[in-house]
Structure 1
Amino acid sequence: MTQTNRPALAILVSDIRVLAEREQGIVRIRMPEDDFCRRLCESGSQFGLRVFVLPVASAAPRPSGADGYVLEDGQWRQTRCPLPDLIYDRAFCSGRVEREAKQLLLEQLAGLRPNVQLGSPLPDKLTMHRMLQTDERLKPLLAPTVHYRSGVQLAALMKRCPHGLFLKPAAGFQGRGTLWLRPSGEGWQADGRQLTNRPVSQTFANFDAMSAWTDRFVRSTRYIVQPYLQLTGEDGNAFDLRSLLQKDGLGRWTMTGIAVRVGAPGSITANLHGGGAASPALKQLTLRFGEARARYLLTQVQQSCLRAAAILEQQIGRIGELGADFGIDRKGRLWLLELNGKPGRQSFEHDEGLSRQAMLKPLAYARYLCKRSLPLHLSLSPPLPNAANPEQSSTVHPNP
């Protein structure tokens, strides 16, 4: 199969950085998730795919193609790319304008040539929480969650939450914009990260001052509020589990890996973008809880991920991969903290084999979608996995 008649897979990204090396007169381009995009483009031919990058802001699709980037001799080169048969959405939009621009581009591409996205976009955190709450096996893993309206509501919520409140953007990612509000001595304390990911820490003499400051911090961004869960290790640093569930070359869900993430000192989350570090889950959990308890927790994580994926697919359609964050409180209770439809791979860089799987499974799944005999836009409802049976396989047959 020649390069021109291979199915075309477009990686959708947001902003592109142009790095000018003035001394040599060379202009170098860096993609968002540059290493990931490189690996996908380099490996596409192994899966019978032509892979390139389409930036949301400058793709300018027309019947003849769209403006994108291909990888040649280790460098990104801008060129006219074919209209894609498949789209892998890795565009992280920072606001309404960028989200609308991406939606417009997707509509333009679909109008020019039918295409298939590797996964449907996930709804906001509150909507997902409500979807998962309908399942009796997942409901105990979910913290109470409400929509943030104003600082006025915080007083009533704080009375029911002795360790404070945790606020995060309803459509946030990478731990940005998170906030922990709590009493401290004779006053109040707020710690977290701004939407730009810079650390923030404020003290207040009274609750009203903290409430007013929180309103200014949130501004027009949609936020959710949860009880603050004590998800820290013995060293006091934030501690959680990141799991990566991906569809393989046969359209089945497979658990690629589970890693422990430990946050940087002083950080309220364990996100790697906030300075955290990742390591193998079984080893770390065994050190903390013993091997038997560690294996039980990992089985719970695996089965909960499969069940959450099945529920979401029944509601919103095809999903190609799902990142899930779990916390373990000081009593050993497991909590499902967050689901992410655009999961990162950094948590598995400590294991070369897992890292390679995490990178390449989207290509195997894209090839599968191309080879399906059913029309690509159709999907079947998956069975829900039996979370009570620890012997169940980690592979299920979901919405392809």
Structure 2
Amino acid sequence: MNATALGFLGIMTGRRHGMPPLAEPEFCSHLCRAAPLYGLKVLIFHPEGVAEDGSYVDGYEWRDGQWEPAQAPPPDILYNRCFYRTAREKRAASIALAALSRSLPWSRGLPDKWSVYEILRRSPAAAALLPETVQYSGREALGNMLAWSEYGVFLKPRAGSHGKRTLHAVLLGSRDGGGVKVRGRGSSNEPFQYVFGTLDEGLDWIDRFIGLRRYIIQPYLQLTGRGGQPFDVRVLMQKNGTGVWTLTGMAVRLGARGSLTSNLHGGGTAARARPFLLAEYGRSGEELLEELTRASALLPPLLEASCGRLGELGLDFGIDAGGRIYLLEANSKPGRTVFRLTDDRIAARLAAENPLGYARHLLLTASRDYKLPRGQLRSHGRLISMVPKEDS
């Protein structure tokens, strides 16, 4: 790898079938193509590509319009984009991160959903956005919640993603035969629905479904549009080239009618936020857009204060029929597909390139902190010469 650059950004990602065997290939190729504009070199690699002693990294670089295998020294900045489907994948990533302990993390991660809830509820302004949330403690407590929840309860794994293994449980009235209705998504995001004749049967099944996993419970919110489709609003917050939080883009994610969630991984679609909210809420749509913007600016500093430096956040908001906004989830490894689906080219470009601008900011800040000669950055004992952006 040619080392003539301000610095080296390493992007650690998961595997997929095909060539290259990289998750998020479109995002990765955009990063690589745009990197010279920011004075950066980029290598994409898997956790297994990191040497045991952290002395080198095997991966792929974008060269002459195609992916080529490449080997490089440890990156100056490490951008972790791994999603863990199994305990084995999580362990492999942990080993790789430990081996690359001298690389500066592009961002820290967020803790699980319950911990994020605990952090945000300490702020009165943020607490107003949070649905009531408790931890799953067993079938008896769940039965009590079902008894007073008109629309039932929503259960989701504390460490889950993409809507997998989520459940909606509701008590059925006598006219519907009594018992419990449960619908949800399995570990592969496949939808299912069951009706149990008695409360005990339903609670037993849910308890077995949860097993040893840790879950949280919230009242089921009626977050559907006039057409009956569940929807939420995804807001992407990112730090820019000066290290300042900015709102990159906002879009609505729509689930199929009758679907439990609006996640794109569960078969959802997307729409531009402003036209959708104006159509749904009339004049109040503009006020909702302003409220969403304020809420999105509020949350990143609160999470950073407890979790450490962050580089980007995907914030998912629900809006009920009365126009009340709820924070449904915060994600420190957000996707970007929603902006491509809505043909929001400006947001899509910023979503892909802000990580490069922020990596450059981190490198320049590190250069000042270590008082290196202007135009040089020490990368694990190796001086990298800096060339102007326009000549990269």
Query: Is residue 67 of structure 2 the alignment partner of residue 76 of structure 1?
Result: yes
**TM-score normalised by the chain length of structure 1:** 0.86
- Measure how far apart 1:337 and its partner are: 0.8
Q: 1:119 touches 1:318 (CA, 8 Å); kept in 2?
A: yes
Structure 1 range deviating more: 227-236 or 365-374: 365-374
Structure 1 range deviating more: 195-204 or 63-72: 63-72
Which of these residues, 257, 260, 266, is aligned with residue 252 of structure 2?
260
Number of positions where the alignment pairs a residue of Structure 1 with one of Structure 2: 362
Which of these residues, 44, 48, 51, is aligned with residue 39 of structure 2?
48
Q: 2:316 touches 2:327 (CA, 8 Å); kept in 1?
A: yes
C-alpha offsets along residues 256-285 of structure 1, whole Å, 9 cap, x if unaligned?
111111111231111111111111111111
Q: 1:245 touches 1:305 (CA, 8 Å); kept in 2?
A: yes
Q: Secondary structure at the match of 1:57?
A: helix
Q: Sequence identity of aligned pairs in percent?
A: 38
Distance 1:120 1:64, change over 3 A: closer
- Measure how far apart 1:162 and its partner are: 1.1
2: distance between equivalents of 1:335 and 1:93? 27
- Measure how far apart 1:58 and its partner are: 3.8
Q: 1:15 touches 1:56 (CA, 8 Å); kept in 2?
A: no
1: distance between equivalents of 2:272 and 2:54? 48
Letter paired with 1:180: H
C-alpha offsets along residues 15-74 of structure 1, whole Å, 9 cap, x if unaligned?
242x3xxxxxxxx32311111111111211111111111212343344541121222344
C-alpha offsets along residues 142-173 of structure 1, whole Å, 9 cap, x if unaligned?
11111113233210111231101101111111
Query: Is residue 195 of structure 2 the alignment partner of residue 203 of structure 1?
Result: yes
Q: 2:235 touches 2:316 (CA, 8 Å); kept in 1?
A: yes
Q: Secondary structure at the match of 1:217?
A: helix
**Pairing of 1:24-103 with structure 2 (within 5 A):** 28-62=19-53, 64-103=55-94
Query: Is residue 257 of structure 2 the alignment partner of residue 269 of structure 1?
Result: no
Letter paired with 1:36: F
- Measure how far apart 1:298 and its partner are: 1.5
Distance 1:98 1:199, change over 3 A: same
Query: Is residue 242 of structure 2 the alignment partner of residue 250 of structure 1?
Result: yes
Q: 1:69 touches 1:81 (CA, 8 Å); kept in 2?
A: no
Which of these residues, 149, 154, 167, is aligned with residue 155 of structure 2?
167
Paired position in structure 1 for 2:348:
355
Which of these residues, 211, 219, 224, is aligned with residue 211 of structure 2?
219
Q: Secondary structure at the match of 1:153?
A: helix
Query: Is residue 2 of structure 2 the alignment partner of residue 3 of structure 1?
Result: yes
Which of these residues, 122, 140, 151, is aligned with residue 128 of structure 2?
140
2: distance between equivalents of 1:92 and 1:82? 24
Distance 1:11 1:213, change over 3 A: same
Q: 1:142 touches 1:335 (CA, 8 Å); kept in 2?
A: yes
Query: Is residue 165 of structure 2 the alignment partner of residue 177 of structure 1?
Result: yes
Structure 1 range deviating more: 318-327 or 142-151: 142-151
Q: Secondary structure at the match of 1:30?
A: coil
Query: Is residue 233 of structure 2 the alignment partner of residue 241 of structure 1?
Result: yes
2: distance between equivalents of 1:197 and 1:74? 35
1: distance between equivalents of 2:215 and 2:193? 19
Letter paired with 2:309: R
Larger RCO: Structure 1 or Structure 2 (Cα < 8 Å, ≥ 6 residues apart)?
2
Letter paired with 2:110: L
Letter paired with 1:140: A
2: distance between equivalents of 1:265 and 1:151? 30
2: distance between equivalents of 1:374 and 1:120? 22
Paired position in structure 1 for 2:298:
307
- Measure how far apart 1:375 and its partner are: 3.8
Paired position in structure 2 for 1:23:
none
Which of these residues, 344, 358, 371, is aligned with residue 365 of structure 1?
358
- Measure how far apart 1:374 and its partner are: 5.1
1: distance between equivalents of 2:245 and 2:83? 24
Paired position in structure 2 for 1:381:
none
2: distance between equivalents of 1:8 and 1:223? 39
- Measure how far apart 1:198 and its partner are: 1.3
1: distance between equivalents of 2:192 and 2:20? 32
1: distance between equivalents of 2:196 and 2:150? 18
Paired position in structure 2 for 1:121:
109
RMSD of the alignment, in Å?
1.7
Letter paired with 1:341: S
Query: Is residue 6 of structure 2 the alignment partner of residue 15 of structure 1?
Result: no
Distance 1:207 1:115, change over 3 A: same
Paired position in structure 2 for 1:320:
311
What stretches of structure 2 of length at least 5 have no aligned partner?
A: 371-392
2: distance between equivalents of 1:64 and 1:101? 17
- Measure how far apart 1:203 and its partner are: 1.6
